[in-house]
Chains A and B, each alone.
Chain A
Amino acid sequence: MEKRSIINLVKIFMKYKQQFIIRVFFLFLLSIFIVKIYPINHLESDRIAEFIHIGSAQPTYSNNHVSYPFTLVDGYNRNVTFKEEPQRIISIAPSVTEVIYAVGADDKLVAVDLSSNYPNETENLPKIANFPTLDVEAIIVLNPDLIFGAGITSLEDVEALENQGFSVFILAPFNVEDVLEDIEVVGRITNHESEASTLKDSLQARINTIEQNVTKYTFKPKIYIEYFSEPLYTYGKGTYGHDLIELAGAINMAENATGLYPQIDDEFVITQNPDIIFYAKGSWTTTNASTISSRTGWNIINAVKNGHIYPINEDWISRGGPRIVKALEEIHSKVKLVTSQSDRDRSITPAFEWYWVLVMIPISVVIGIKRRS
């Protein structure tokens, strides 16, 4: 008898088969709607990272003169000879574009790649596709006398460009020190040596200030930088994110994880108990401090308890350009804040009561079925 009745039920569903699937979908939506509308937590308004121009190198045609020709070794261990000052430069990496602008060689720049979005002046330049394959044809049309690439440029692309007779120079910095050296290299190649060394010195001075401060701190806070939220990705060893944390006198929570951008789980973050949480802020991210602190179980993490959740511009920490020092200062300022604070306990807020879902979903189902009949 029982089997009959269930088959009858299915028969009723099949009678309305076109609507059935759509109904189920809307019930699905409805239940999510009900679930989501209940817990309304407003903890902290979102902070938006501000872009601050760095380096502000004036395009003054100063009295410095680099003596050409000379030969330099690039990031791929290739010897590149520069016979004279390059007049038509193409950058095929966003980090190098930033360096070129910072040393004031942007008047020689004829094109940049699609991902170059800083500074705003890049909008006026022609764009070259560099992902997933480099648009060599567009480069041939523009006829540059020097192409700057970075570690993301593959060796095959470099060879393809060389076969066309172009001179290619690759900047592949591995850490912050390398970035500073590359600024000088770009300055030398583009005949803006004095601007470059001024910029490098000022950046170095800012790093040195931080390094001096770091020695005074009594403890090293743990930091978690969230690269993506669904699922959780963080910055592992070998990325600038990891280097910056160490330079700022802190510990990267994921220093033992395998991979450059390891995927981790909630339990790992809770167990590691970071003191500061940064979340990468890019044009595509929707994470903010309140979404992080409202995650289940995260309320017992020190950073969440004490409200140390901050945005950090994704471009600052992922590009080997001058703005990386900006990222370092941002991280360091929070490390300073945490190490100086002593109030490290707050009462634990109760977790979200989810059990009422059990009550609401059958009700929504009943409403859905009633509407049908």
Chain B
Amino acid sequence: MSSITPNSNDTQNQVDVYEFYRKKKLFWGLILTVSVLVLVISAFIALMFGSAGPIGPASSRLLTISDVIQQIIRNSSQFILKMVGYPVHEETSIQKIIIWDIRFPRIIMGALAGMALAVAGTIMQALFRNPMADPYILGLASGASVGASIAIIAGGTIGFLAGYILPVFAFGGSLLTIIIVYYISNIRGMVRIDTLLLSGIAVGSFMAAITSFLTYISGQHLRPIIFWLMGGLALVEGDWESVMIAAMIIVPSCVICLIFARSLNLLLLGEETAQYRGLDVQKVQKILLVLASLITGVSVAFTGVIGFVGLIIPHLIRLVTGPDHRILLPTSSLIGASFLIMADVVAKTVIYPTELPVGIITALCGTPFFLYLLRKQKKIGF
């Protein structure tokens, strides 16, 4: 960007450029503020819904809106105090258990998973320069499903892993898949992105076949396997530990991905152009692939295979912000998080008290809205 010099002959033009960047910055700031607000508001709304009230289809109204707000303030301040090391007297009331121990982990995991899937989807779409790409394009979901199905069918527990069998097996499955895919497409230290895409699809299909086989013979376990294949946040309810483990991995990885936003912009021009512009294409691609796979693997391990968030949210945000990753990545992570939180509220309440897998809701609500925007805009900048 050239500096503005008032003595220049071409003053009018440079004022325009200045004006353009000022407006762009204003626009980006506005978009980010709105996204943060949307996330906070949707998390707040989600905290209100549930069997114990204050909002929702349940007949019991155990909690009031002021209860919820009081619990949010009290527990988050206690949380901070405890982290500092200040001794806190903890009371155990039903309000605290429902708001802080049951609803909060679920909402935060929803936000983390939505964030991870949206960021991974954006990165995959840019790396493969393919609008069909989603976080699961390298066969991660199929690999994780094989691991999870085995864990569900075997049904046993292994000592210290009690309660974590499912996430560990799912994460192990996706890890195994990504390693296989990577080694297949790694030819003398060079990873070609199109080979990667093809081997990812091939290994994914292979893993999907194993999952189908396991589902077919599962008998008694059919129901939990199908729940897992459609994705749901019910498993992390009342489970702060899982949420913490997921947050430790997903949040730093997403921040690192943000740093590579400019590199992603360059990669959109094509690998050769990016190389000539001074980008170490191979290295950046590898780093981003590892990060995207890692966050996808972790979110799948805890919530199952939630579809459509990673595919549609990046496109949706691109329609609003344009294809610049500096704004696209943070916005889609925030909106992805809010979208999954709201989808989970719908999944919880639509045929209360029965819960639906959240994957059904994301596809059901997300797709028509996306198609509407697509028709309205008539242009999809990729």
Contact = CB atoms under 8 A, between A and B. Distances in A.
A271 B355 contact: no
Contacts, number: 174
B235 A297 contact: no
A264 B348 CA distance: 9
Interface residues of A, number: 64
A355 B102 contact: no
A368 interface: no
Contacts of B202: none
A263 interface: yes
Interface stretch (B126-134, B136-144, B241-249): B241-249
B286 A354 contact: no
Contact of B171 (A28, A115, A232, A298): A28
Q: How large is the interface on B (under 10, 10 to 19, 20 to 34, 35 or more residues)?
A: 35 or more
Contacts of B79: 355
A291 B157 CA distance: 12
B160 interface: yes
A94 B294 CA distance: 45
A267 B237 contact: yes
Contact of A286 (B155, B172, B298): B155
B237 A266 contact: yes
Interface in A261-286: 261-268, 270-272, 282, 284-286
B184 interface: no
Interface string A121-149: 00000000001100000000000000000
B94 A300 contact: yes
Interface stretch (B50-58, B109-117, B271-279): B50-58
Contacts of A36: 160-164
Given A262-B354, A263-B227, 20 more contacts: A7-B259, A13-B287, A17-B290, A21-B290, A28-B245, A28-B249, A32-B160, A32-B167, A131-B219, A231-B227, A263-B234, A265-B237, A267-B237, A268-B58, A270-B52, A270-B102, A291-B162, A291-B163, A296-B239, A348-B92
27 contacts: A6-B259, A13-B287, A21-B179, A24-B294, A25-B171, A31-B245, A32-B161, A32-B164, A32-B245, A230-B224, A232-B234, A233-B224, A257-B354, A259-B351, A259-B354, A263-B234, A263-B356, A264-B353, A265-B102, A267-B52, A268-B58, A268-B353, A271-B50, A271-B58, A285-B155, A350-B92, A355-B82
6 shortest A-B CB distances, which residue pairs?
A296-B238, A262-B354, A297-B97, A271-B51, A231-B234, A268-B51
